[in-house]
Structure 1
Amino acid sequence: MAYYAIAPLLCTLMHNELYMHLYINQTISGPNTNQLVVAPLFFGLTAINDWTILDGPGPNASVVGRAQGMHFQSGHIREKWYTSMNFLFEDTRFNGSMLQVMGTTPQDDQWAILGGTGEFVAAEGIVEHKIVQVDSTGRIYEIKIHAFYIPMNSSAKYRRNRIRNATHRLIVILGSLELNKCMASWCAAPM
């Protein structure tokens, strides 16, 4: 007996498109430090981060999540950092949802969105990041998230109706072919 099952996808998956404009606060020194160097070398320096994600750049901004992960010095000739982290959302709307992000960090660039959980299942896209403030304690990144994800909260009835409607259109197009009976019986089967 096989330990897996593979089935063809008979309809396209619905995707949602996500845009977010947020800020990340990276604090490297002071009382509110949110990262820790764990391998203090120049080339290969490694830091663990728990940066705050904010809805604005100012002191009155609200925390909407955390950027948790690690980054390390990966450029030998030019300063470049490899970054791998999860954006874990804590706000009311997306509480518990997560986007997984990775890429390099020069001044301004993009990180890839490789996946997600909660509201953002199977997310993919990009995060444009730009350093907008630097001082002796850290820096603030402006981030613009653009992603596509599969909403997993649609009801079975909604999915069943979409499949039936698509199948009905196919039957009408095919006319009186014998396939009509097969498709109609498949469409009536419980899901």
Structure 2
Amino acid sequence: MARALLILSTFLLIFFTLIFANPNQYFSETLAPSSLELKKEKLTHLHFYFHDIITAKHPTAIQITRAASTNTSATFFGGVWMMDDPLTVEPNLNSKIVGRAQGIYASASQSEVGFLMVLNFAFTEGKFNGSNLSVLGRNAVFSTVREMPIVGGSGVFRFARGYAQARTHSFDSKSGNAIVEYNVYVFHY
């Protein structure tokens, strides 16, 4: 009998604690988008050029590590580069800079030059100044068009989702320097 009363009282204690618990004790809640002043979702197209400069007096991308076999790999497998590449409105590096591509890319394929791209497009101009778009995806460098997902953003691009299409504008095989044209399509509020 005492055991049954103990079980019943424990059950009632847990039951009433759950029913009358302070909702602030939970780590999540459902919100209406309007509570964050989110308005109608829109689709924005961005167009710019990415300048990946590996060999120059002031490179914008540097190799930060490599595997023992990276130097003998036709795909640079195991190499990792850190970048802070300028984004410009025209392919000319002297054209207006609208932001930076900041992050890493790593050679992740043994069968082709295919990079894992982890980067932010950090914008510095116009209504997007101070806003970022985050990219996480695969870049098969020698494909004519590469598509990588936009997985998020900040500032104007909060709750962003979309994709970036990359096309090589120019590539110098001796220096490894490249100019890549980007068309980015992103849904955001």
Aligned to 2:45: 19
Q: Secondary structure at the match of 2:156?
A: helix
Identity of aligned residues (%): 24
1: distance between equivalents of 2:125 and 2:162?
21
Asked whether 1:34 is paired with 2:57, we answer no
Q: Secondary structure at the match of 1:93?
A: helix
Aligned to 2:158: 121
Aligned to 1:45: 79
2: distance between equivalents of 1:147 and 1:19?
7
Does structure 1 conserve the Cα–Cα contact (< 8 Å) formed by 2:51 and 2:93?
no
**Consecutive unaligned residues in structure 2, runs of 5 or more:** 1-21, 71-76
Q: Give 1:7 shift.
A: 3.1
Cα deviations across residues 16-35 of structure 1 (Å, max 9, x unaligned)?
21001111000010113101
Aligned to 1:92: 126
> Bigger radius of gyration, 1 or 2?
2
Distance 1:14 1:88, change over 3 A: same
Distance 1:75 1:14, change over 3 A: same
Aligned to 2:188: 149
* TM-score normalised over the length of structure 2: 0.73
Question: Aligned match of 1:7 in 21, 30, 33?
Answer: 30
Count of aligned pairs:
150
Residue identity in the other structure for 1:19: H
User: Considering only aligned residues, what root-mean-square deviation do their CA atoms show, in Å?
Assistant: 1.9
Residue identity in the other structure for 2:109: G
1: distance between equivalents of 2:39 and 2:87?
30
**Consecutive unaligned residues in structure 1, runs of 5 or more:** 151-191
Question: Aligned match of 2:90 in 38, 50, 56?
Answer: 56
2: distance between equivalents of 1:10 and 1:35?
39
Residue identity in the other structure for 1:81: F
Aligned to 1:187: none
- After TM superposition, the structure 1 = structure 2 runs for residues 129-144 of structure 1, keeping only pairs within 5 Å, are 129-135=166-172, 136-137=174-175, 138-144=177-183
Q: Secondary structure at the match of 1:105?
A: strand
